[in-house]
């Protein structure tokens, strides 16, 4: 019985097709985009390295001429002859005010994000989201003016209450006067970083696996149990990233802090007493009147803030890397 010849296959062989596919993957447009992306990344690294080299060079000039201990001294007289300055008060004020801002802002921001994404009806969630977005666009100086003219006068009642009930701790003792302290700065910074943490957390919570939420509801879980077992674990790394973005703004905020705080190079046990300072506020306040050595000293303090920011971001990346099981790729 005669066998028929198999029909000829249309198109090139498999090897030729794969070669054509590989050639198409490296066409001119893809190569241009790859080059631009790679160049952007390299440019960013070069800029960061240039900033680090400049700060280190100018800081070394100032520290070598400093007659006081740069890390532990409580004085700042960089324009004197010989210069004497230290960052102990600035480091304390920057860290304390940022911690207060994070403690106040992050729980509130996560609650707002959960309300918008899982509780509020659409007619309410949409305009509320727009309001949060508008808060993120308010300039720092506007926050500073609002803080100086409205927040500071209205915090004296809170300060009196804290002194009455928690003054025994020594942290919340209040002796009267204007509420221009690190605690006020922390509250103002919390208001400023609230939109950033809220917006990022809201978008992360919206990406939580809907099938898991619906399955939990079908099994009889309450709305809070669904959020606790499904939404929060999924969005944990996103909330950490949002918090680090907010912390970055809190650490480097300048004009709002300079408008509200009454700085002094003293570290006081009570957070309600005027005094203290931050790196950014000190640079903004002293740069205009500083001489050559004074500017180098301010740059040295900026280097410390630069290092603190890098360490904070590095710690955040480590935390997120340990929580890869909650990322969207593995959900």
Least confident of 171-180, 190-199, 313-322: 313-322
pTM (2 d.p.) = 0.82
Query: Are 188 and 147 within 8 A, CB to CB?
Result: yes
Q: Confidence class of residue 322 from pLDDT cuts 50, 70 and 90? A: low
What mean pLDDT do residues 300-328 have?
76
Q: Is residue 329 over pLDDT 60?
A: no
Rounded-to-integer distance, Cα 122 and Cα 125, Å = 5
- Convert the pLDDT of each residue in 80-129 to its tens digit: 888 888 888 899 989 999 999 999 999 999 999 999 988 888 888 888 88
Inform me whether the pLDDT recorded for 326 exceeds 50.
no
Asked if the model's pLDDT at residue 273 lies above 90, the reply is no
Query: What pLDDT digit, counting tens, does each position of 21-63 carry?
Result: 555 556 888 888 888 999 999 999 999 999 999 999 999 988 8
Residue 10 lies in a domain: no
* Spatial CA neighbour of 266 closest among 70, 101, 93: 93
Residue 127, CB-side half-sphere exposure with 13 Å CA sphere: 3
Q: Tell me whether residue 2 is in a domain.
A: no
Does 100 reside within a domain? yes
Residue 151 domain-assigned?
A: yes
Average of per-residue pLDDT across 65-90 = 86
* Domain presence at residue 38: no
* Domain tally, the chain: 1
- 249, 56 Cβ separation under 8 angstroms: no
Look at residue 201 and tell me whether its pLDDT is greater than 50: yes
Domain residues for the domain of 107 are 88-330
Given a contact cutoff of 8 angstroms between Cβ atoms, the answer to whether 277 and 286 are in contact is no
Whether 48 is covered by a domain: the verdict is no
| Within a domain: 78 | no
**pLDDT above 70 as % of the chain:** 89
Domain at 233, CATH number: 1.10.3720.10
Q: Is residue 9 part of a domain?
A: no
């Amino acid at each position: 019985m005669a066998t028929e010849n198999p029909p000829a296959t249309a198109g090139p062989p498999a090897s030729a097709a794969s070669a054509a596919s590989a050639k198409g993957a490296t066409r001119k447009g893809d190569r241009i985009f790859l080059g631009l992306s790679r160049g952007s990344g390299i440019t960013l690294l070069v800029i960061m390295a240039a900033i680090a080299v400049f700060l280190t060079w100018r800081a070394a000039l100032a520290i070598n001429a400093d007659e006081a201990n740069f890390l532990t001294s409580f004085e700042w007289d960089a324009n004197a002859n010989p210069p004497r300055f230290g960052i102990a008060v600035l480091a304390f004020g920057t860290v304390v005010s940022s911690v207060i801002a994070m403690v106040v802002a992050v729980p509130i921001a996560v609650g707002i994000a959960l309300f918008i994404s899982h509780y509020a009806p659409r007619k309410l969630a949409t305009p509320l989201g727009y309001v949060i977005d508008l808060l993120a666009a308010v300039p720092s100086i506007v926050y500073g003016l609002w803080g100086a003219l409205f927040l500071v006068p209205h915090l004296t009642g809170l300060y009196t209450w804290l002194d009455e009930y928690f003054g025994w701790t020594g942290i919340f003792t209040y002796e009267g006067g204007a509420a221009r302290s690190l605690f006020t700065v922390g509250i103002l910074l919390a208001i400023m970083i609230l939109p950033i943490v809220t917006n990022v957390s809201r978008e992360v919570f919206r990406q939580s696996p809907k099938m898991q939420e619906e399955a939990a509801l079908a099994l009889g879980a309450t709305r809070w149990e669904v959020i606790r077992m499904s939404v929060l674990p999924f969005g944990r790394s996103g909330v950490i990233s949002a918090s680090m973005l907010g912390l970055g703004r809190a650490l480097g905020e300048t004009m709002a802090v300079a408008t509200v705080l009454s700085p002094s190079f003293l570290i006081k046990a009570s957070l309600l007493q005027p005094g203290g300072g931050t790196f950014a506020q000190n640079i903004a306040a002293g740069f205009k009147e500083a001489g050559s050595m004074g500017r180098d000293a301010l740059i040295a303090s900026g280097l410390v803030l630069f290092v603190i920011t890098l360490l904070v971001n590095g710690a955040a990346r480590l935390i997120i890397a340990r929580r890869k099981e909650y990322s969207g790729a593995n959900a």
